[in-house]
């Protein structure tokens, strides 16, 4: 095992630990308001599988296919991951306790219209898109990056529809988000 493969495994491991922490935080928040959790019988398990794959597939690809480390690709990937992390911190600082891994629409919802929500409706999904595309590429796992990105596109297509259908029942959300793009200001 090379030093860079060890660094890659550490990045993947840190991502896995972060995802488990997100699940734990969400479980506590959902326990307080179970009636507000939107049912996603097949979608949420697929999302969990996707994020498990994000940790496992790139490592397996690099290990079994002997993918070489390319410093330029690691630098580019690392820059995207730093950008995604900054956006995640900004997003979570903006929405605070309203964040959850599940779609939850409590009665006392406060509509976030500051921070990254001034520009787009779903900044955290943009973070996930960037992470899933960039993390496997840190060590050149391009097959994992493509497969996971396509799976993520399928998942987010359904997740965003589910979340927006639930939030569309709140007139303040509809008013606040009417003119905002979903993921990219001015585009989509």
What pLDDT, in 10s, does the model give residues 152-170? 999 999 999 999 999 999 9
Mean pLDDT score, 61-78? 98
Q: What's the Rg (C-alpha) of the chain?
A: 17
| Residue 32 in this model has a pLDDT that exceeds 90 | no
Contact criterion met (CB below 8 Å) for 11 and 136: no
Q: How far is CA 145 from CA 14, 16, 27, 51, 109, in A?
A: 18, 16, 29, 12, 35
Cα(20)–Cα(104) distance, integer angstroms: 18
What CA–CA distance (Å, rounded) separates 45 from 116? 28
Strand partners, 120: 181
Q: Is the pLDDT of residue 84 over 90?
A: yes
pLDDT tier at 186, thresholds 50, 70, 90: confident
Q: What is the pLDDT of residue 105?
A: 84
DSSP letter, residue 111: -
> 94-121 burial string, b = 16+ CB within 10 Å, else e?
bbeeebbbbbbbeeeeebbeeebbeebb
The two structure tokens encoding residue 36: 């507000």
Percent over 90 (pLDDT), the chain: 88
Mean per-residue pLDDT for 177-185? Answer: 93
Classify each residue of 1-33 as buried b or exposed e, where b means 16 or more C-beta atoms within 10 Å of its C-beta: eeebeeebbebbeebeeebeeeeeebeebeeee
Q: What is the pTM of this model?
A: 0.94
Q: Which domains does the chain have, with CATH numbers?
A: 3-177 (1.20.120.1630)
28: left (phi over 0), alpha (psi -120 to 50) or beta: alpha
pLDDT of residue 140: 98
Angle, vertex CA 4, rays to CA 80 and CA 53, nearest 5: 60
């Amino acid at each position: 095992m090379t030093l860079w493969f060890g660094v890659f495994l550490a990045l993947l491991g840190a991502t896995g630990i972060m995802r488990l922490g997100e699940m734990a935080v969400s479980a506590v928040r959902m326990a307080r308001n179970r009636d507000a959790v939107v049912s996603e019988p097949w979608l949420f398990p697929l999302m969990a599988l996707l994020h498990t794959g994000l940790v496992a597939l790139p490592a397996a690809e690099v290990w079994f296919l002997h993918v070489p480390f390319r410093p330029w690709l690691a630098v580019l990937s690392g820059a995207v991951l730093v950008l995604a992390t900054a956006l995640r911190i900004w997003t979570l600082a903006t929405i605070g306790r309203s964040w959850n891994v599940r779609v939850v629409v409590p009665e006392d919802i406060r509509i976030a219209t500051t921070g990254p929500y001034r520009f787009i409706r779903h900044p955290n999904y943009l973070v996930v898109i960037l992470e899933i595309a960039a993390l496997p590429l840190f060590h050149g796992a391009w097959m994992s990056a493509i497969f996971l990105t396509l799976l993520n596109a399928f998942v987010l297509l359904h997740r965003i529809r589910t979340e927006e259908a639930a939030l569309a029942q709140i007139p303040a959300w509809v008013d606040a988000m009417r003119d905002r793009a979903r993921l990219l200001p001015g585009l989509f």
